[in-house]
Chain A
């Protein structure tokens, strides 16, 4: 099974900061990597699919990059509503999620 490793597991940042979260796959997954945002008590929300495509309705401050085994999610200028937990997920074979990155207010 493909394992997904996110880093960091938690992150403190301020409004306006640029933030990067990384995700590494245990084997190549081409560009079949998706990013989700989850807020407490809510279902995950799709942000980025196939590594770098922005889901409709998602602000352009969110961007993704990478291919093969290494991927990044970048938030260019943090807004108050961005403080949440972020998950990567591979869709190369069935599905595997990373362990999550909790983004907290500094």
Chain B
């Protein structure tokens, strides 16, 4: 059974750095083709893809946020970490992690999401 769960702070201050962890089970990120992405959704708005890390440690970032994002994985712990620097109130959103079984395949499993509010 595949599950993903996001964890991290619910509240961060402007200019701070956000660190989110996706802990998953039921699959291995060392399996060929496997990918994990981070996706966010501001309240009442659309989904926005942020970053992806692949089984071979290839990394991809949303162009507009590339300078602020870092994605990494710990295969032994079944975790993927997203770091976003210089947080701003517009970054307030529910952050999801999601799995793909191949780079061009869909997101077939999602975490339940974690709401991050950016406010002083």
Contacts and interface: CB of A to CB of B under 8 A. Distances in A.
A42 B113 CA distance: 8
Interface of A: 1, 32, 34, 36, 38, 42-46, 49-50, 55, 87, 89, 91-92, 94-100
A94 B49 contact: yes
Contacts of A32: 104
Contacts, number: 59
Contact of A100 (B39, B46, B52, B96): B46
Interface string B39-74: 100000011110010000000101100000000000
B111 A95 contact: no
Contacts of B46: 87, 97-100
Given A95-B37, A97-B48, A97-B49, A55 B105 contact: no
Given A95-B52, A97-B48, A97-B49, 13 more contacts: A36-B107, A43-B111, A46-B106, A49-B105, A49-B106, A55-B106, A87-B47, A89-B47, A91-B100, A91-B104, A95-B39, A97-B39, A100-B47
